[in-house]
Amino acid sequence: MKKKNYDEVSVIRSITKKADVSVDYVNKIIQVKEDSNEVGNGTWGKIDYLCHYCGYIYVRPKTINNRKIINREFGDDNDRKTSKKERKQLKLDMVKSTKKLMKK
């Protein structure tokens, strides 16, 4: 069996992609949801690496508050569709104005 060489940054990056895992970099705490189906043997190996070699502590709460902030520019889908149409129209207007300038 090949020995895996991990580094802290890449392990944290891959673990934070899981929905049932949350990592607090400052306090060095890893939260793994108690009844998670998403955490497999590979993820547990990475968590084990962080706990034993990097000084992290893992906790198993029932729920996790992920701090992923979804930055939405528009309120709902209707506004989004309207704005796409408006943007497309602006692009077409720019093309028309450019063609007019080139003809002169």
* Closest CA relative to residue 43, chosen from 32, 57, 55: 32
Q: What is the pLDDT of residue 69?
A: 42
Contact between residue 33 and residue 62 where contact means Cβ atoms under 8 Å apart:
yes
pTM: 0.59
The kind and range of the H/E element at 36 are none
pLDDT in tens, 3-33: 668 889 999 999 999 988 999 988 999 999 9
Torsion on CA atoms 14, 3, 59, 56, rounded to nearest 10: -90
Domain boundaries, the chain: 8-59, 75-104
Q: What is the pLDDT of residue 56?
A: 95
Q: What is the pLDDT of residue 87?
A: 74
